[in-house]
Amino acid sequence: MSDEPLVLGVETSCDETGVGIVRGETLLADAVASSVDEHARFGGVVPEVASRAHLEAMVPTIARACRDAGVALTDLDAIAVTSGPGLAGALLVGVAAAKALAVGLDIPIYGVNHLASHVAVDIVEHGPLPEPTMALLVSGGHSSLLLVSDVTHDVRPLGATIDDAAGEAFDKVARVLGLPFPGGPHIDRAAREGNAIAIDFPRGLTSGKDMTRHRYDFSFSGLKTAVSRWVQLREQSGESVVVADVAASFQEAVVDVLTRKAVLACREQGVEDLLIGGGVAANSRLRSMAQERCDAAGIRLRVPRPGLCTDNGAMVAALGAQMVLRGRTPSLLDLPTDSSMPVTQVQS
Ligand code: KG4
Ligand code: ZN
């Protein structure tokens, strides 16, 4: 028997019910049930629908993760669960389930931050995190640059979006282009056939003054409006809109700013390792441009495989296992959920 901790992680902050199992720094299972299809016709995640879907998926997803990992619940050493940030009702379902497991099995529980989990997941893919690591987190709800000195308790925000998150911009622009929700993967696919320099869309917060006040911050709302207006003007004048070109040019603008600021932050803070996580890290152009720019700047790049970038339970289990390995005190059994949990608070 291994003496590394066997940790089960539960993730329900948005529309994915994720249950992952990690032993030490080894991933054993990553079971995910998504309610994304139930939200598609609304063009966005409906919180009440997500909560109900979590409730229905929870027990079967836990059972599937145990089966995949070849372990029994009674083998577990600890439970980890996303306690925030996220949708309030959705978080409650996961935290209630995790508390029930912890009480029933008489093992410790760790309520952990969703964003730190997006960072920690790369440990099970690429090994221990260099300290410090610069993390660019880009998802449907967040776009942040984080200086991570210790993923279990020292995560410092350097910058964040001042309006829309990067994934939100992908989803909104996809809607303008008549592509299904969630739009990110569809824009990614359409852009492969398009010309990324066909339209010169704006790069938010990169002008001289903005680089003083918002050096590491992002803004995607102006870009989204620019794409909308461009499409509208074309349609009004009866000209055709080449979806692939708009998708590629929009994607290029987002990816250009994200990678430019992430590399700048690494250089200026003297950090040699950049990690990209969150759903948008699955974007093929973001991955290729980040690799080019990191190579040119002598920065090592780590990006988890796409399945570990989008929300999942493995990331929560990975962070939970780090908590155990580093001897962090478990959370109390009455740990709260916090839908707007700050990124600096790794544990509840
Ligand atoms: O991390 P995630 O699964 O959930 C949140 O915590 O938000 O991220 C979901 C977001 C969505 O906005 C989705 O459109 C975007 O990630 N996304 C992508 C790609 N795959 C997912 N955006 C761009 N390109 C992709 N390939
Ligand atoms: Zn996420």
**Using CA atoms, how far apart are residues 75 and 68, in angstroms rounded to an integer?**
14
Mean pLDDT value of segment 108-127: 97
Q: Which atom of ligand 1 is nearest to the CA of 16?
A: 3
> In percent, how much of the chain has pLDDT > 70?
100
Q: Name the nearest CA neighbour of 117 among 264, 257, 260, 275.
A: 275
pLDDT digits (tens, 9 = 90+) for 290-334: 999 999 999 999 999 999 999 999 999 999 999 999 999 999 999
The answer to whether the CB of 18 is under 6 A from ligand 1 is no
Q: Is the pLDDT of residue 151 over 70?
A: yes
The whole-number pLDDT of residue 37 equals 84
The whole-number pLDDT of residue 41 equals 80
The answer to whether the CB of 250 is under 6 A from ligand 1 is no
Mean pLDDT value of segment 109-127: 97
Q: Is the pLDDT of residue 35 over 90?
A: no
**Using CA atoms, how far apart are residues 243 and 225, in angstroms rounded to an integer?**
16
**Using CA atoms, how far apart are residues 78 and 98, in angstroms rounded to an integer?**
10
**Using CA atoms, how far apart are residues 118 and 139, in angstroms rounded to an integer?**
10
The answer to whether the CB of 81 is under 6 A from ligand 1 is no
| Cβ-contact 10, 82 below 8 angstroms | yes
Mean pLDDT value of segment 251-263: 98
Q: Name the nearest CA neighbour of 112 among 179, 13, 206.
A: 13
The answer to whether the CB of 11 is under 6 A from ligand 1 is no
The answer to whether the CB of 159 is under 6 A from ligand 1 is no
Q: How confident is the model at residue 36 (pLDDT cuts 50, 70, 90)?
A: confident
The whole-number pLDDT of residue 48 equals 87
pTM: 0.94
Q: Is the pLDDT of residue 195 over 90?
A: yes
The answer to whether the CB of 139 is under 6 A from ligand 1 is yes
| Cβ-contact 322, 123 below 8 angstroms | yes
What protein residues have CB closer than 5 angstroms to ion ligand 2?
A: 139, 311
Q: Is the pLDDT of residue 270 over 80?
A: yes
| Cβ-contact 93, 13 below 8 angstroms | no
| Cβ-contact 261, 218 below 8 angstroms | yes
pLDDT digits (tens, 9 = 90+) for 70-106: 999 999 999 999 999 999 999 999 999 999 999 999 9
The whole-number pLDDT of residue 209 equals 94
The answer to whether the CB of 188 is under 6 A from ligand 1 is yes
Query: Which of 16, 117, 175, 280 to mutate for ligand 1's pocket (most ligand atoms within 8 Å of CB)?
Result: 280
| Cβ-contact 157, 255 below 8 angstroms | no
Q: Is the pLDDT of residue 254 over 90?
A: yes
Mean pLDDT value of segment 229-242: 95
**Using CA atoms, how far apart are residues 45 and 176, in angstroms rounded to an integer?**
17
- 144, containing H or E segment: strand 143-150
The DSSP code sequence of 219-270 is --HHHHHHHHHHHHHHHHTT----HHHHHHHHHHHHHHHHHHHHHHHHHHHT
Q: Is the pLDDT of residue 46 over 90?
A: no
The protein residue whose alpha carbon is closest to atom 14 in ligand 1 is 184
The whole-number pLDDT of residue 1 equals 55
Q: Which atom of ligand 1 is nearest to the CA of 168?
A: 12
Q: Which atom of ligand 1 is nearest to the CA of 310?
A: 3
Cα 245 off chain centre by? 27
Q: How much is the mean pLDDT over the chain? A: 96
Q: How confident is the model at residue 344 (pLDDT cuts 50, 70, 90)?
A: very high
**Using CA atoms, how far apart are residues 318 and 247, in angstroms rounded to an integer?**
34
* Residue 198 CA to ligand 1 centre (angstroms): 24
Query: Which of 122, 139, 284 to mutate for ligand 1's pocket (most ligand atoms within 8 Å of CB)?
Result: 139
